[in-house]
Amino acid sequence: MDWGMENRLAQLIQPDGRCCFLPIDHGYFQGPTRKLEKPGETIRPLLPYCDALFVTRGVLRSSVDPHNTKPIILRVSGGTSMVGKDLANEGITTSMTEAIRLNVAAVGISIFVGSDYEHESLLNLSKLVDEGEEYGIPVMAVTAVGKELEKRDARYLALSSRIAAELGAKVVKTYWCEDFDKVVQGCPVPVVMAGGPKVNTELEVLEFVHDGIQKGAVGVNLGRNIWQNDFPVPMIKAIRAVIHENASPKEAYDLFNSSKNEKD
Ligand code: 5RP
């Protein structure tokens, strides 16, 4: 692997082989998502605890201090909205030149396997990988958002994740599901888990993150279940403990509760 590519991947996946990415890209199709209305304010207290930020160029430039940040995974697909016809009809929104100008550690793009736009989204991924290889920039493929999430089972997520890896993604972001080991085992590159819409209890999140890590995921790219929590800093600390300190869900939940009583 070329030095630049390897160096960028090493910025993202930590020496223990794990990672905690913080996505704040949701506005690119959802608009001012709850608790992400002012992204700069949302992320400020969380930045010390994440290993990378997943963000669009607009929010990066407007809301993230270039002097004080973490490695950036730049969201470079979009062009649809939640009130439009079909979320799956994405294109590439940001050039590789812009990604280099922004000094990013990786770029991220969604694919929509099984949708009317499967072909386009997979060719977009392939094109992005070709460009990324030229400049040593890894691509993170994001599987199954929006309507495609209804198919949140191991068979579908394994199919999507494997295709993303075959087309050259260096990291695949997918969702946790029952039999998650089938997803990880069929994917020859590192897999990270997203959280999806906020779930009811912190313990549920910690349990699925723990299960996914036990089954081979290298970490998370998990947003709403952190920054929509009433206690986002204790929540990211608890998730980090599962990822980087092998904490059990119960140990991490105890940490969440004890951190709630501390001043950040
Ligand atoms: C949607 C994304 C998000 O980065 C991804 O879904 C992770 O966030 P969450 O944990 O909130 O689902 O790709 O644009």
- Tell me if 19 is assigned to some domain: yes
Q: What is the percent of the chain with per-residue pLDDT over 70, rounded to a whole number? A: 96
For 122, the enclosing helix (H) or strand (E) is helix 118-135
Task: Tell me: pLDDT of 250 over 80.
Answer: yes
Q: Strand 106-111 and strand 91-92: pairing?
A: unpaired
> Which DSSP letter does residue 262 get?
S
Q: Strand 91-92 and strand 77-78: pairing?
A: antiparallel
Round the average pLDDT of the chain to a whole number and report it: 95
- Tell me if 116 is assigned to some domain: yes
- Tell me if 26 is assigned to some domain: yes
Q: Which of 189, 175, 187 is nearest to 143 (CA)?
A: 175
Burial label, 63 (beta-carbon count in 10 A; 0-12, 13-18, 19+): middle
pLDDT tens column, 78-90: 999 999 999 999 9
Hey, is 173 helix, strand or coil? Answer: strand
Report pLDDT for 263: 63
The CA distance from 261 to 25, in Å, is 30
- Tell me if 224 is assigned to some domain: no
> Of all atoms in ligand 1, which is nearest to the CA of residue 222?
10
The CA distance from 187 to 136, in Å, is 21
- Tell me if 32 is assigned to some domain: yes
The full DSSP string for 195-229 is: --SPPS-HHHHHHHHHHHHHTT--EEE--HHHHTS
Q: Among 204, 221, 227, 236, which is best to mutate for testing ligand 1, by the most ligand atoms less than 8 A from CB?
A: 221
- Tell me if 242 is assigned to some domain: no
Poorest-confidence range of 16-20, 176-180, 193-197, 211-215? Answer: 193-197
**How far away, in angstroms, is 144 Cα from ligand 1 center?**
10
- Tell me if 75 is assigned to some domain: yes
**How far away, in angstroms, is 21 Cα from ligand 1 center?**
10
pLDDT tens column, 222-234: 999 999 999 999 9
> Annotated catalytic, 173?
yes
pLDDT tens column, 178-200: 999 999 999 999 999 998 888 88
Q: Which of 73, 14, 20 is nearest to 205 (CA)?
A: 20
Burial label, 120 (beta-carbon count in 10 A; 0-12, 13-18, 19+): middle
Report pLDDT for 245: 98
HSE, CB side, 13 Å, CA atoms: give it for residue 168. Answer: 21
Average pLDDT over residues 73-80: 97
Report pLDDT for 257: 97
**How many domains is the chain partitioned into structurally?**
1
Task: Supply the CATH number for residue 83's domain.
Answer: 3.20.20.70
Compute CA distances 24 → 6, 19, 96, 230, 264, whole Å. 25, 16, 20, 17, 21
Q: Whose CA is nearest to atom 12 of ligand 1?
A: 196
Task: Tell me: pLDDT of 142 over 90.
Answer: yes
pLDDT tens column, 43-63: 999 999 999 999 999 999 999
- Tell me if 121 is assigned to some domain: yes
pLDDT band at 1 (very low <50, low <70, confident <90, very high): confident
> Of all atoms in ligand 1, which is nearest to the CA of residue 221?
7
Give ligand 1 pocket residues (Cβ under 6 A): 23, 25-26, 54, 142, 145, 194-196, 221-225
Task: Tell me: pLDDT of 73 over 70.
Answer: yes
Report pLDDT for 148: 55
**How far away, in angstroms, is 62 Cα from ligand 1 center?**
20
Longest Cα pair distance anywhere in the chain, in angstroms? 50
Domain encompassing residue 155:
3-199
Q: Show the tokens assigned to 116.
A: 């009317």
**How far away, in angstroms, is 175 Cα from ligand 1 center?**
9
pLDDT band at 264 (very low <50, low <70, confident <90, very high): low
